[in-house]
A and B are shown apart, each in its own frame.
Chain A
């Protein structure tokens, strides 16, 4: 990647042609189609089960008065967590001027957008009266952390969509101009979405400026979304939630799972589009791997604060809660999640061989899966230890029901569908940002990308 310094005009044009050919969205092969159909089936099953839930109430879930928040809420926390990666990859690395981020930003940003959209949807799924969602605007109370969450999540969603969309404009216009045998609706979609983009230097100047502003704005908002989400728990008196460490603990865990999401996405793209190998290089995996280790270590630090210090005291209900996690009912899940989701990835990714694409992918998937169950362990056990006796036994242990799983999996499939459709129709790696990263002068890029100049 250090080939740069001076590139002649002809060389540059050649490179750009190459990028275009490599990075334009392509039709899916058989695997891509099967994947899409599979996701659609899971998603539609979720929708079907949700219509049942609308009719019959939340009684079709495993939640009861004892454990009244279940996997909908832990899934919500997961979505919010993974969406933080957008701000990390796009904004933090951008403002730090880290050059290798260029092919990763859009992957990170589409994960962020898909996740935050479904975070918003799944929280409505959890509501007993989704028909009264408007009450939050009619009667909203600023004292309630839920209202804070509504505000920051919607702000983050807006900023994320803009941060995805602005740098995408050249890409959309490029699809509009260069993709030949596409159906009419697709061309129309590109025409509308490209907003009359014609690659003028002025437009690039505006987009770059907008991205800089958005990058600065999105960092505090990103910290807010997950901090406020942690406050939904930390503002209560329950053991395991009543913690001042929760904000930092949630944010650090969020960066870890988001980074894992990007690593997994990188691997899959590279696996199924061989032309991407030139852009998502082993070197990128190496860098992301190191970042993952850093984030996992930070997360380990906050986990120690979260669990070991209360465990030193073993105070009353808190002690009971921790005992259940460490050696009781939840122990197998708790230790698996700590080991596979944090310790093992640190151990493997510390070695250069561990940061090759395939082991990276395996570690990334482990991080993501463990992150999901980690949120289960954060949400559910805290509700299980109150000295209530008059409830039926099955209310004390929460087991998610089939419709509940179906709806949850449906939401995960929905988020993956957004990402899948995006990859199908838009360039997931930004041509102009790659070109800039590799030192091609902006003037050449604009000229080349502009179809009028070409003709």
Chain B
């Protein structure tokens, strides 16, 4: 226990370095295969330039940039997207005590997924469980359930569960029956009711279920945990955009989650802060965990005032 308490602090520092050096080398990432090559160090030649990387067991190590392979930055094909990232089981933790409805997560999500119109993948709700209980903000992405009701009812396997826990939608196969929307107890799915207004840069892009764009008329879409970024070893847009570190993303197999600033043991975090899952009683087993809104970083403010504060910043 003692040891564990010190650990996050040290890791935190390491993590920052990692973000600065490793992530700054834009577009570079380790694939599992690439890591094997790095460790065996046989095939690639040295360049002399050193880069810090995070290994799967959470340690930072310095490697030569020549050993690092550029992963395909975009576009895993629809059939490849059906298998998850090997050895991973993604989980997200949302710390409600830190959310002040800044909506940076949502804006980043909308921007990077090129979402137009009213389709919002990440919604932030004002929650109040009962009249006499305190209100709080609750960001709600897709829960990526381990027993996903949406996947169960899809007649054509357009929405599917991967080995790494992510639930995706293939909009090249979706028939637009919207049964998944009916089945989802969390109402996280959106439908493209009309022809999506595609931005310049995305209109010509190759479609991949991992990026979700270009969107297509008459198909369902939803939060995808940014698997294209995870594949590159990066964190989802909402995690990096949040100024308050509300979102933690990580691998359950590793038992580590990080919000970009601090990396912590998932199990310890759950234990210390009484993590829970949304509507867990119905047995869908979400991959998103919440930390209750206690000892809050910010007092709760009503949306109108909050919106004005957002503008001042």
Contacts and interface: CB of A to CB of B under 8 A. Distances in A.
Nearest to B217: A57
A127 B179 contact: no
A56 B217 CA distance: 9
B175 A135 contact: yes
Interface stretch (B182-190, B240-248, B291-299): B182-190
A136 interface: yes
A139 B153 contact: no
B123 interface: yes
A422 B192 CA distance: 40
Contact of B175 (A57, A59, A61, A128): A128
A453 interface: no
Which one of B154, B173, B177, B191 has the highest number of Cβ atoms from chain A below 10 Å of its Cβ?
B177
Contacts of B192: 57, 128
Interface string A62-76: 011100110000000
Main secondary structure of the interface of A (DSSP, over half): loop
A144 interface: yes
Interface residues of A, number: 44
A271 interface: no
Contact of B185 (A57, A127, A237, A391): A237
Nearest to A56: B194
Contact of B155 (A68, A140, A383): A140
B173 A236 contact: no
Contacts of A235: 153, 183
Interface string A354-390: 0000000000000000000000000000010011111
Contact of A133 (B123, B175, B219): B175
A57 B117 CA distance: 14
Contacts of B112: none
Contacts of B118: 64-65, 391-392, 395
Contact of B156 (A126, A141, A392): A141
Interface in A315-347: none
Nearest to B119: A65
Contacts of A390: 120, 123-125
Given A236-B182, A392-B118, A59 B193 contact: yes
Nearest to B194: A59
Contact of A388 (B125, B152, B154, B179): B125
B176 A147 contact: no
Nearest to B120: A390
B90 to A, nearest CB: 24
A339 to B, nearest CB: 29
A74 B191 CA distance: 19
Which one of A61, A140, A236 has the highest number of Cβ atoms from chain B below 10 Å of its Cβ?
A236
A18 B223 CA distance: 71
Contact of B176 (A128, A139, A140): A128
A63 B193 CA distance: 8
B115 interface: no
B193 A140 contact: no
Interface string B80-119: 0000000000000000000000000000000000000011
Contacts of B123: 388, 390
Interface in A111-126: 126
B157 interface: yes
Given A128-B191, A147-B155, A386-B187, A68 B219 contact: no
B288 interface: no
Contact of A129 (B152, B190, B219): B219
A129 B169 CA distance: 15
Contact of B193 (A58, A144, A238, A392): A58
A146 interface: yes
Given A136-B156, A140-B155, A69 B176 contact: no
Contacts of B127: 387
Interface string B115-139: 0001110011111000000000000
A141 B127 CA distance: 37
Contacts of A146: 153, 155, 177, 179
Contacts of B183: 235-237
A145 interface: yes
Contacts of A10: none
Nearest to A146: B155
B157 A58 contact: no
B37 interface: no
B218 interface: yes
Contacts of B194: 56-59
A388 B184 CA distance: 14
A61 B120 CA distance: 20
Contacts of B58: none
B174 A389 contact: no
Contact of A57 (B182, B195, B220): B195
A127 B176 contact: yes
Contacts of B275: none
Contacts of A147: 155
B154 A144 contact: yes
B181 interface: yes
21 contacts: A56-B195, A57-B195, A58-B176, A65-B118, A65-B181, A68-B178, A127-B175, A127-B218, A128-B178, A129-B175, A129-B218, A129-B219, A136-B156, A232-B182, A233-B182, A237-B282, A388-B125, A388-B187, A389-B126, A390-B120, A390-B124
Given A65-B190, A145-B153, A146-B177, 20 more contacts: A58-B176, A58-B191, A64-B118, A65-B191, A68-B191, A132-B174, A135-B158, A135-B173, A135-B175, A136-B156, A143-B152, A144-B154, A150-B155, A235-B153, A236-B149, A236-B185, A238-B185, A387-B125, A388-B187, A392-B118
Interface of B: 118-120, 123-127, 149, 152-158, 173-179, 181-183, 185, 187, 189-195, 217-220, 282
Top 10 nearest A-B pairs (CB, nearest first) are A128-B176, A128-B218, A59-B194, A146-B155, A144-B155, A237-B185, A59-B193, A139-B156, A129-B176, A135-B156
